[in-house]
Each structure stands twice: as structure tokens, then as C-alpha cells.
Amino acid sequence: MKRQMLASGVLGLVLCVAPACGDRGLKAELDAVSAEKAAEERNKQVARDFIAAIDRQDFASLRGLLADGFALSAPGAADPLTADGLFAAIKAHYTAFPDWRHVIEDVTCEGEKVTVRLVQHGTHKAEYEGVSATGNEVHMAALHLARIVDGKVEEWWAVEDYLGLMTQLGMELKPKQASAGKR
């Protein structure tokens, strides 16, 4: 019985696909979907390469991945960072956390948009944002979204848990004290 079911399933697949192969319109559509999927896989690899170049502090490779008008945006930043601003931020960050590494947990892509979910790890060994070195091993979750066109990163948005990072460095979040005249 199992053989009959398997044979009829294979036969059904052959009958379903065989006529379609002769349909040039369907073949062109399948080729387009295949090309789009291949482009998305390349974009995902560019995002992985971008993160890896940051971890290596390989600014030549990183520059090669960036489009001429590259911009990195993040919550709280007044203006997007250019390539040179990104390089300066990386240098400052890796001075404070020399062993900083990104662990990519998930990469998805739809067209030009690539999403990277990751966790960053490092040891606080020098002053960072006004906080003296603590020696604390820290981690910071992040979600990044990139727009990649023709193998170049045009835009990168980074949403990172800086509140969690600063808490791990010993900072405390406290409510403001009510002023004496207000109730």
C-alpha cells in the first residue's frame, strides 16, 4: 500500500510538473523567482560580511561593502553616521571593549531589506560613555535592518539595548525626584 501511495505521489508530481516545463511563461517566472532568491542570499552574505568586518576592525573591507552615500541610523542619534563616523564609533567602542564580538542569531531578507538579529559580547576594559572600566563581561541584544543594493550597504539601522548595556556597567535608572512645590 505504501508503495502505491509513493508511486501515485511521484506520478502526480511528474504529471503536474512535466506540462509546466513546456510553458515558457511559467519557466520565466520560476527563473525570476530563482534569481530573486539568489540576490537575497547575496544580500544576506553582505550583511554577514559587514558584521564580520566590524569585528575584525577591517576598515578597508568595510569601506568596500558601503555605498557612496552610506548612512547608519540609530535611536537617539541626532544624525545618521557616514562611513567615517561609523569607523570612529567602531574604534571608540573597541577601545573600551577590545574583545567585542557579534553573534548572529538570525538573518532574513526580502528584496533589498536584510534583517539581522544578534547578540554582542565583550569585556569593559576602558572608559566608555563616561563610565570607567569595570572589567564586567557584558552582552547586548540588537536588531539591525539594512538596505543593500547591488552588493553595497546603502542604509543600516541599528536598534540596540544600550539601557541594558549601561545597567551591566553599573549605571542605575531612577525616577526623577518630584520638586518640592509639585504634588
Q: Tell me: the pLDDT tens digits for 103-121?
A: 999 999 999 999 999 999 9
Q: Across the chain, which distance is largest between two alpha carbons, in Å?
A: 86
Q: How confident is the model at residue 69 (pLDDT cuts 50, 70, 90)?
A: very high
- Rounded to the nearest integer, the mean pLDDT of the chain is 88
Residue 144 lies in a domain: yes
Residue 182 lies in a domain: no
Count: domains in the chain: 1
Return the CATH number at 33.
3.10.450.50
pLDDT of residue 7: 44
Residue 181 lies in a domain: no
pTM: 0.80
Residue 175 lies in a domain: no
Could you tell me which of 91, 96, 114, 103 has the C-alpha nearest to residue 39?
Answer: 114
Q: Which domain holds residue 47?
A: 2-168
Higher pLDDT among residues 9 and 174, named by residue: 174
Residue 47 lies in a domain: yes
Q: State how far Cα 95 lies from the chain centre.
A: 22
Residue 116 lies in a domain: yes
